[in-house]
Structure 1
Amino acid sequence: MKIAFVGKGGSGKTTLSSLFVRHLVASGAPVTAVDADINQHLGVALGLAEEDAAALPPLGARLPLLKDYLRGDNPRISSADAMIKTTPPGAGSRLVRLSEDNPIFDACARPVPLDGGAARLLVTGPFTEADLGVACYHSKTGAVELLLNHLVDGRDEFVVVDMTAGSDSFASGLFTRFDMTFLVAEPTRKGVSVYRQYREYAEDFGVALRVVGNKVQGPEDVAFLRDRVGDDLLVTLGQSDWVRALERGAQRPFEELEQPVRRALDTVRQAAVATYPLRDWERYTRQMVHFHLKNATSWGNERTGEDLAAQVDPGFVLREPATRAAEASPQPA
């Protein structure tokens, strides 16, 4: 399953992402965590030292490898250079499975030891001085979108993505790539402002969205959130001494996390898992194509010198289970 955590800067979305990853790992589930925020904090939140987190190999710096691998033998894609962040898979493309080794994971993923096991961690990479004036952060997060476009994942394996702050993911189709999106909101007007933007787009594209109230101190805060977001409010979290210690650099056993927080995390998991039977691979593929054609028209064709609409394979539907044979031939829509 693909799960996103979004919210305004400072809402606690990275902290919640890291807690949810720990919760899943402690339950024995295989987890791939992705830091898709240009302000890279997920590695540290998962317990890595600052220098180790900074040394993680960024996906954004390995786009040539990513494109070359995913392109495979797809005859509709003239070259890896002609691929953009929204390029959809087709017959001959290589698909990514979380349970298999591949050159992308070999080059970019690193295991992070956690109580009960480990999570695989991928990072987009930070915005660097070399990018100033010549690139935008979407060139970094585009690597995540391209990877998710080619990912075939199952019910009992999890991809948890800490998204860029605010509503910036609407600049591409990245916000439609998830089975469930959890919006982390503080009980303030600014805290719920991003929710309003997400709610509008979520309804237009059938995106499953629930709100996790964070930094809630009492019934008034809960009532405020309920008044602003209604039934989308799934659960609330208050003060946690365990989390405060983590933010100060102290590593405590996960089993010592307060029970109310653990119950909230389990509620989050149950809400995510409940969406899996509703997964619609055909709609997922249509949305992929929709945003690819929009990006092709607005900038991709000019950038590559090609008509990128030709990359769309009209007979291909990304679906589970996908086999090696299916990658070599079109699938019926």
Structure 2
Amino acid sequence: MKIAVCGKGGVGKTFIAGSLARCLVESGHPVIAIDADSSPNLALSLGLTSEEAARIAPVAENDALIRLKTGTDYSGVFRLTFTVDDIIRDHATPTPSGAHLLVMGTVRAMGSGCACPAHSVVKALMRHLVVERDDAVILDMEAGIEHLGRGTTRHVDSLLVVTDANRKSLEVAATICRLARGSDIARVGLVGNRVEGERHETAIREFAREHGLEVIALIPYDAGVAEAGISGTAIDETASTAFRAICNLARDLGERK
């Protein structure tokens, strides 16, 4: 099961990605969680402290690793063929959630399609994780639509486009869904988050109907999640209606795979 989670910034996609990872671990899956956001914070959702998260070296920014994989004896020339399975073994961080975390980091080069060494390593690693491994993989994508242009989500089973009832969030979600329709992704649809009452649900469902979009799930507003975000503490999973709804979503995605 390979699931990418995206959406407008601030809609709660990282919470949903982290909760999906936790739910899949609970159900017995080995899980690799990938933080592909340019402002990574999935580590916190997986139970690491801020200090522990700060010590993680993003793959794209790990100069020693990039040189090891792509370096040659010739200046300006780098290898295009290399193995990446050892990156997972040596650089994936175990988390209290039970999932292992890889932080991709930002490729600091001109152009989204650059042929720089860091880009080559990240691209090869992403393909290996999504196509060649049997682990459940959860990708927390960067906000907006840039990742679609780079093909980062290619080959995943499901693209979950997170939105709340705010019209701007819904418009961004519709754009993401439209751009993803021409891809090989089997299932693309909306996950409504922080749904507080009938008005929110109606706004999301009517927008989806008008734009021909599937509503895959609706996650209720949960005051405990909001409080945990403010205090920086973990949510009480046993009492969280949002977390249980996300676990139901994980189960549904597994059954439909």
Q: Shared topology, TM-score over 0.5? A: yes
Residues in 2 aligned to 1:95 and 1:274: alpha-carbon distance in whole angstroms: 30
**Aligned counterpart, 1:240:** 222
- Secondary structure at 2:123 match in 1: helix
Structure 2 unaligned blocks of 5 or more: 71-75
Kept after mapping to 1: 8 A contact 2:181/2:188: no
Query: Judging changes above 3 Å, is the alpha-carbon distance between structure 1 residues 144 and 182 closer, same or farther for their aligned structure 2 residues?
Result: farther
Do the aligned partners of 1:8 and 1:191 also contact (CA within 8 Å) in 2? yes
State the distance in 2 between where 1:60 and 1:110 align.
Answer: 15
- How far 1:144 moved relative to its partner? 4.0
Per-residue Cα deviation, 1:229-268 (whole angstroms, up to 9, x for no partner):
135112212221331232122235432323xx24421332
Which letter maps to 2:78?
A: D
> What does residue 210 of structure 1 align with?
189
Deviation at 1:214, TM superposition (A): 0.9
> In structure 2, what residue type is equivalent to 1:153?
R
Give me the whole-angstrom Cα distance separating, in 1, the residues matched to 2:252 and 2:120.
27
Equivalence for 2:73: none
Given the alignment of the two structures, is residue 153 of structure 1 paired with residue 133 of structure 2, yes or no? yes
Distance across 2 between alignment mates of 1:107 and 1:198 = 34
Paired residues of 1:63 and 1:143 also in contact (CA < 8 A): no
> Which of 206, 212, 228 is the aligned partner of 1:227?
206
| Cα deviation code 1:179-220 (max 9, x no counterpart) | 111110011211112222222222212422121101211112
In structure 1, what is the equivalent of residue 18 of structure 2?
Answer: 18
C-alpha distance in structure 2 between counterparts of 1:39 and 1:267, whole Å: 28
Which has the larger Rg?
1
- Residue 69 of structure 1: how far off its partner (Å): 5.5
* Structure-2 separation of matches of 1:213 and 1:237: 6
State how far apart, in whole Å, the 2-side matches of 1:192 and 1:143 are.
33
2:120 matched to 1:120? no
Q: Report the alpha carbon displacement of residue 221 of structure 1 after superposing the two structures with TM.
A: 1.2
Shift of 1:34: 0.8
* Shift in alpha-carbon separation, 1:194–1:80, aligned structure 2, 3 A: farther
SS at match of 1:150: helix
Is the contact made by 1:25 and 1:119 (CA closer than 8 Å) also made in structure 2?
yes
- How far the C-alpha of 1:6 sits from its partner, in A, is 0.2
CA deviations on 1:100-120 (whole Å, 9 max, x unpaired) are xx2x02432110012xxx110
Q: Which amino acid aligns with 2:37?
A: D
TM-score (norm 2): 0.82
Q: Which among 210, 214, 233 is matched to residue 250 of structure 1?
A: 233
CA contact (8 A) 1:94 1:150 kept: no
Residue 68 of structure 1 contacts residue 80 of structure 1 at CA under 8 Å; is this kept in 2? no
| 5+ long unaligned stretches in structure 1 | 71-78, 84-88, 97-101, 277-333
Identical aligned pairs, as a percentage?
A: 27
Task: State whether residues 5 and 182 of structure 1, in contact with CA within 8 Å, keep that contact through their aligned partners in structure 2.
Answer: yes
Checking the alignment, whether the CA contact within 8 Å between 1:40 and 1:126 is kept in structure 2 is: no
Q: 1:203 to 1:222 in 2, by over 3 A?
A: same
Instruction: Give the aligned partner of residue 78 of structure 2.
Output: 81
Measure, in 2, the Cα distance between the counterparts of 1:80 and 1:219: 59
Matched residue of 1:176: which SS? coil
Letter matched to residue 191 of structure 2: V
Q: Aligned pair in 2 of structure 1 residues 120, 141: CA closer, same or farther (>3 Å)?
A: farther
| Residues 202/171 of structure 1: CA separation in 2 closer, same or farther (3 Å cut) | closer
What is the CA distance between 1:148 and its match in structure 2? Answer: 2.3
Letter of the 1:43 partner, please give it: A
What are the residue-to-residue correspondences of 1:88-237 with 2, within 5 Å? Answer: 94=83, 96=85, 102=86, 104-114=87-97, 118-125=98-105, 131=108, 143-151=121-129, 152-154=132-134, 157-207=135-185, 208-230=187-209, 232-237=214-219
Mapped partners of 2:77, 2:256: distance in 1: 34
What RMSD, in angstroms, separates the aligned Cα atoms of the two structures?
2.9
SS of structure 2 residue aligned to 1:177: coil
SS at match of 2:38: coil
